Amino acid sequence: MTRGGDPNFRELEPGIVTDFSARMSYGSYLDLGTLLSAQNPVSEPQHHDEMLFIIAHQTTELWLKLVLHEIRAARAAFAEDSIGVALKCIARVKHIQKSMTEQWSILATLTPTEYAEFRGFLGSASGFQSHQYRAVEFILGNKNADLLRVFEADPPSHAVLDDLLGEPTLYDEFWRCLARAGYDLPGSALDREVSAAYVLNPDLMPLVKYVYEHPGDCWPAYESFEELVDLEESFQVWRFRHLRTVLRVIGMKTGTGGSSGGAGYLQRALELSFFPELFAVRTELGN
């Protein structure tokens, strides 16, 4: 209902709840008091653009929390032979990754001069120390026990990574799922030391090639292969966008966390593969 013919005024409908003294509100459900008070710039005097920097990274951490939640669920689904459920979780992760990738364009509005005015206040703080990012990499197969040293001063984060280090990856559970479905899996795939970083297993290549050459006979495996390829490709696009944003803002400067050149470190990460057989087989197909 408008007031006095003013189309910009709308009275509250009679059923709208206004008393939250004993009811859950939007803000209390989302704990917005905590969430919105977590942006605390450290620059002195406070630099306008540091708020952008903080929120962009906090948002990424929230998305990483959801990515890890979904990949854990996908891994559990493969362990229970629920391929459809696993692929649904992976599909959601791909959409999350799209949002994560697109938000680099917001951070890229930070010019080199603007960032330089507060970068020194960050000290040794760096995205290199994101335990959730490391957790996602660990559960996807890029494990490195040495990285746990970075988190020795943060016991809860260290515990998360230590647990994941000794657990099967998403890919490990996928191969075990296929074995239970009747596919002939080599022992080297089923008995792999799960605490080691995943590397290409030549023993798997004949099976992977067969599935790609006979998709109609192996549809669940074939569909899973392609979903996993999508997952890795989306992750690599996010990594690449990260690299390009870093190059745009700080060039080849050393990372605040001590990595030998922030952009150089990110460039090398593009060479990593979570599911190497699924990419290597493309060279063999059609030969």
Nearest-angstrom CA–CA distance, 220 and 211:
10
* CA dihedral over 159, 162, 164, 168, signed as positive or negative: negative
26 annotated as belonging to a binding site for a ligand: no
DSSP 129: G
115 annotated as belonging to a binding site for a ligand: yes
| H or E element, residue 266 | helix 262-269
Decide if pLDDT at 262 tops 70: no
Domain boundaries, the chain: 49-251+260-282
Choose the CATH number for 49-251+260-282 among 2.30.110.10, 3.40.50.300, 1.20.58.480, 3.40.640.10: 1.20.58.480
Query: What's the predicted TM-score (pTM) here?
Result: 0.92
* CA dihedral over 60, 228, 239, 143, signed as positive or negative: positive
Decide if pLDDT at 265 tops 80: no
Nearest-angstrom CA–CA distance, 34 and 40:
12
pLDDT in tens, 134-191: 999 999 999 999 999 999 999 999 999 999 999 999 999 999 999 999 999 999 999 9
212 annotated as belonging to a binding site for a ligand: no
Two tokens, residue 78: 């493969």
10 annotated as belonging to a binding site for a ligand: no
